[in-house]
Chains A and B, each alone.
Chain A
Amino acid sequence: MAENQQVDSPASDAGGYDAGALGLDIGTSRIVLANGPQGTQSQSQLNAFISVPYAKLTENILQQNRMVYHRNGKELCVYGNDSERFASFFNAVPRRPMQRGVLNAHEAMGQQIIQAIIEQMLPRARKNEMICFSVPGKGEGADANLVYHEAVLRNFLQGFGYQAKAINEGLAVVFAELQQENFTGIGISLGGGMCNVCVAFLSVPMLSFSIPMGGDYIDSSVSEVTAEPVTRVRLQKEESLDLARQPKDKVASALQIYYEEVMATLINKLREEFENSNSIPRLDRPLPIVLSGGTAKPRGFLQKFEGMLKASGFPAPVSEVRLASDPLTATARGCFIAALSEIK
């Protein structure tokens, strides 16, 4: 990285840092940091960037708007939350340093951007503090990349002076949301790049996997079949989609179709893994399922998922299906709890 100019540094306000632990959810679409008492303080940055040719005028605009960017030779890279705003100026689509839950091999600037975003959020460690960061579970086509992905992120964080420990994303959801059940149940994180699932018993992961489908898959598929730009599809998804109602237009209809496909794939995979696994004990109680992540946010998602789960003949009794208290920060909060529990 040639130059790095931080106009704004929210990391310096990181509350709860004194606890000596931090939780970091490094997702395909967002990076979320949790800290403070019970992980209640969080901050997030889009895990995206946009690059434009360097021009003094452009740089001035960035500085006037207090945007976070860095100059890389003849390019200016705007990253994090500002990338979305900046993209709207140019009517462009932000690029993703990660794809389907892991580092995007086709994005040359990917690792630098992630490092810059993380550096923007994290304070420098003072006493080798503990940080837990999320990693996806094994899944179709992701197995080999996982090792690399985890190692690179760990190196980043250790480079900032932290003790870094990777936590399965689904397990982090369990930690964040299933305390009353003594961390026993199924945590599902439906993110932008993939869906992560973990079945845990007393905090011990019994089964975990991922499917390479998430919000991005839905957006791109809908965009493809409706010929609408991805940004518009995403806007409609986030603002007005209600999966419990009949769709009003073709975008909504397509969104429902692809949502149902993702849910069906997820439920089928979960059922298969349950049926084929010998490691899950014969449980003496029904399991709760917690859904988290941005993809689980649309209205009606929970009811549709529950209905499809019941219809699938899921092999284990389920006590309830519920949405995480804050779906966007659940993974980060789970990582934070794990980090706190690791402090000696």
Chain B
Amino acid sequence: MSEKVAAPAIEPYLRLVEQYASSFERPEMRLRFLNRTLARQSERERLWRGRLRRFAFIENSAAYRWLLDFALYRTIFEEFQRLLPDGFRERRRLWRQAPVRARIFFELYRARRAVYAAGILAGVMLLAGAVVLGRWAVRGVSTMLDARRNSTVSIAAPVASAIAAATPNGAEYLPDYRPEKVWLVEKTAEYERYSNGGRILTRYETTNHPRSYLRFPREGWPDAPGVQGRDIIGIVYHSSESDIVPFIADNTQSIQARTRGLIEYVRERRSYNYLIDRFGEIHRLVRDDHAAHHAGHSIWADADFVYVGLNESFIGICFESTSATGSLDEQLTEAQMIAGRALTGILRSRYQIADAGCTTHGLVSINPERGTIAHHHDWVRNFPFAAFSLSDKYATRPPSIELYAFGTDEEVRAKLGGWLWEGAAKAAAEIESGAAAERDPRRGLLIYRAQMNRQKEH
């Protein structure tokens, strides 16, 4: 008897194929399954071996076997599916004969597309969830650290009160104040740099129409005719009240993107002469000698004249900021504070703007239909006048009340929370007591409309 040499062992995959083949009761089906599955697997193995001829180490690796097994499973399932009988009962009977593991694998195979889709969906959701959670966590930590560093200046009521307290009550004007002399140091196509450190970016500067207005003398009020003017009388400070994100390093790109959007919006509408973004960059959007549409229906006055429709006579400076949710407390960054102070200095020095001409939109805005004040309420309180070396205009009697007898209605009172700034409260009290120059708001409205008409005609 000669020895049998090198008889190959039965490949494990053959046992697997056999296990599945046992499910078929009809001999030709079983035979067909065996023949096709084994032929396909054998052909695949031959092909792979041919392709990997030069990389024998791959063929010996566990991964190669694993892939081959995986391909076998796929082949088995494909053939199994192809040979399944049509009738439900037949299928059920066949199915009962199959091993439990085979049934589970086969069902998974049949539902593979749904499983893939669910897997991808779950993966995407997991990833998205992780990103959101991560960002939330980072933002939370950053915000907390940021709050500790106090990098964002919240001009909240207590601070504003402190500033107001530092300002002498009733100080309407600072006649002796002389603005620091500020001069242009450098001018390029992109920016202007001034001696007080202020830098104005001019990249987005555009034109509107040259300033031209009538100012109405206090002497002979209200019958004295208006005097024509083209000079810049003052500054009105605004808040963009735009959508902003927390001022933290992680949001840098978002902050810049929002600023670009705001600049485009403002420039297109010529809404302000200047915009100070959250990083303290000063953007000139409408040239100084042209009016911007920033103040709308508005009234302000200095010692000698009364001004209406302040777009023509006042420069509009807008801070990219918004009020805290549910309050009127605006949020300024430290950079905006510095930039705002510098720009105020530049403009006051350049155009010899008196302290009395620097006010906020909330203080000058009126509703010409209802005869009410604070129609727009940005900076209706808490503007840091002292930080900008300006007197507190919240202590000044607003000319809209003093000279036009405008007041408040339910809507305004609701907006202000029943609160009224000191100067307004004083002026309103004078009307009540009969000490005011004008006491009839209807007459005040007629005066205002007439003045506005004359200014428009002019």
- Residues of A bordering B, CB below 8 Å: 38, 175-176, 179, 182-183, 201-204, 271, 274-278, 280-284, 313, 315, 337-338, 340-342
**Option from A182, A275, A278 in Cβ contact (under 8 Å) with B30:** A182
CA distance A340 to B8 in the complex (A): 31
CA distance A43 to B6 in the complex (A): 45
Within 8 A of A (CB), among B189-211: none
Q: C-beta contact mask, B2-16 vs A, less than 8 Å → 1, else 0? A: 111111111000100
* B410 in contact (CB, < 8 A): no
Contact A182 B34 (CB under 8 A): yes
Write out the residue numbers on chain B whose beta carbons fall within 8 Å of the beta carbon of A271.
1
If A175-B31, A313-B1 are given as contacts, then 13 extra A-B residue pairs at C-beta distance below 8 Å, sorted by A number, are A38-B27, A182-B18, A182-B21, A202-B34, A204-B38, A275-B2, A277-B4, A278-B8, A280-B7, A281-B10, A282-B10, A315-B1, A341-B28
CA distance A282 to B4 in the complex (A): 10
Q: Which residue of A lies closest to B10 (CB)?
A: A281
Tell me the number of A-to-B contacts counted with CB atoms below 8 Å. Answer: 70
Given contacts A202-B17, A202-B38, A275-B1, contact A282 B31 (CB under 8 A): no
Contact B27 A202 (CB under 8 A): no
CA distance A282 to B293 in the complex (A): 95
Write out the residue numbers on chain B whose beta carbons fall within 8 Å of the beta carbon of A284.
10
* B93 in contact (CB, < 8 A): no
Contact B4 A315 (CB under 8 A): yes
Given contacts A182-B18, A283-B10, contact A278 B4 (CB under 8 A): yes
Closest chain-A Cβ to B30's Cβ sits at a distance in Å of 6
CA distance A109 to B154 in the complex (A): 117
Write out the residue numbers on chain A whose beta carbons fall within 8 Å of the beta carbon of B18.
182, 202
Write out the residue numbers on chain B whose beta carbons fall within 8 Å of the beta carbon of A203.
31, 34-35, 38
CA distance A304 to B29 in the complex (A): 35
* B142 in contact (CB, < 8 A): no
Closest chain-B Cβ to A185's Cβ sits at a distance in Å of 13
CA distance A275 to B3 in the complex (A): 6
Contact A202 B7 (CB under 8 A): no
Write out the residue numbers on chain A whose beta carbons fall within 8 Å of the beta carbon of B35.
203, 341
- Residues of B bordering A, CB below 8 Å: 1-10, 14, 17-18, 21-22, 26-32, 34-35, 38
Closest chain-B Cβ to A206's Cβ sits at a distance in Å of 10
Q: Which residue of A lies closest to B24 (CB)?
A: A179
Q: Which residue of B lies closest to A272 (CB)?
A: B2
CA distance A176 to B7 in the complex (A): 27
Q: Which 7 A-B pairs have the closest CB atoms?
A: A340-B28, A341-B32, A341-B31, A179-B27, A341-B28, A203-B34, A337-B27
CA distance A188 to B22 in the complex (A): 23
Contact A202 B2 (CB under 8 A): no
Contact A278 B22 (CB under 8 A): no
CA distance A342 to B36 in the complex (A): 10
CA distance A128 to B29 in the complex (A): 21
Closest chain-B Cβ to A131's Cβ sits at a distance in Å of 14
CA distance A342 to B33 in the complex (A): 11
Write out the residue numbers on chain A whose beta carbons fall within 8 Å of the beta carbon of B28.
337-338, 340-341
Write out the residue numbers on chain A whose beta carbons fall within 8 Å of the beta carbon of B2.
275-276
Write out the residue numbers on chain A whose beta carbons fall within 8 Å of the beta carbon of B22.
182
Q: Which residue of A lies closest to B6 (CB)?
A: A278
Closest chain-B Cβ to A337's Cβ sits at a distance in Å of 5
CA distance A128 to B84 in the complex (A): 25
Q: Which residue of A lies closest to B32 (CB)?
A: A341
Closest chain-A Cβ to B216's Cβ sits at a distance in Å of 101
Contact B31 A281 (CB under 8 A): no
Write out the residue numbers on chain B whose beta carbons fall within 8 Å of the beta carbon of A278.
4-8
A-B contact list, 18 entries, CB within 8 Å: A38-B26, A176-B27, A182-B21, A182-B30, A183-B31, A201-B10, A201-B14, A202-B18, A202-B38, A274-B4, A275-B2, A275-B4, A280-B4, A281-B10, A282-B9, A337-B31, A341-B32, A341-B35
Q: Which residue of A lies closest to B18 (CB)?
A: A182
CA distance A294 to B30 in the complex (A): 28
Contact B17 A282 (CB under 8 A): no
Given contacts A38-B27, A204-B38, A315-B1, contact A281 B7 (CB under 8 A): yes
Closest chain-B Cβ to A300's Cβ sits at a distance in Å of 28
Write out the residue numbers on chain B whose beta carbons fall within 8 Å of the beta carbon of A277.
4
Q: Which residue of A lies closest to B4 (CB)?
A: A275
Closest chain-B Cβ to A84's Cβ sits at a distance in Å of 33
CA distance A183 to B30 in the complex (A): 9
**Option from B9, B27, B30 in Cβ contact (under 8 Å) with A281:** B9
Contact B31 A338 (CB under 8 A): yes
CA distance A284 to B8 in the complex (A): 12
Closest chain-B Cβ to A335's Cβ sits at a distance in Å of 11
CA distance A315 to B17 in the complex (A): 26
Q: Which residue of A lies closest to B19 (CB)?
A: A182
Write out the residue numbers on chain A whose beta carbons fall within 8 Å of the beta carbon of B9.
281-282
CA distance A283 to B18 in the complex (A): 13
CA distance A284 to B34 in the complex (A): 18
Q: Which residue of A lies closest to B34 (CB)?
A: A203
Q: Which residue of B lies closest to A204 (CB)?
A: B38
Contact A282 B7 (CB under 8 A): yes
CA distance A31 to B14 in the complex (A): 35
Closest chain-B Cβ to A292's Cβ sits at a distance in Å of 15
CA distance A187 to B85 in the complex (A): 29
Write out the residue numbers on chain B whose beta carbons fall within 8 Å of the beta carbon of A337.
27-28, 31
Write out the residue numbers on chain A whose beta carbons fall within 8 Å of the beta carbon of B30.
179, 182-183
CA distance A58 to B78 in the complex (A): 62
Write out the residue numbers on chain A whose beta carbons fall within 8 Å of the beta carbon of B14.
201-202
Q: Which residue of B lies closest to A334 (CB)?
A: B27
CA distance A284 to B15 in the complex (A): 10
Residue picked from B2, B8, B31, most chain A C-beta under 10 Å? B31
CA distance A277 to B22 in the complex (A): 28
Write out the residue numbers on chain B whose beta carbons fall within 8 Å of the beta carbon of A341.
28-29, 31-32, 35
CA distance A275 to B2 in the complex (A): 6
Write out the residue numbers on chain A whose beta carbons fall within 8 Å of the beta carbon of B34.
182-183, 202-203
CA distance A183 to B34 in the complex (A): 9
Closest chain-B Cβ to A5's Cβ sits at a distance in Å of 37
Given contacts A341-B28, A341-B31, A341-B35, contact A202 B4 (CB under 8 A): no
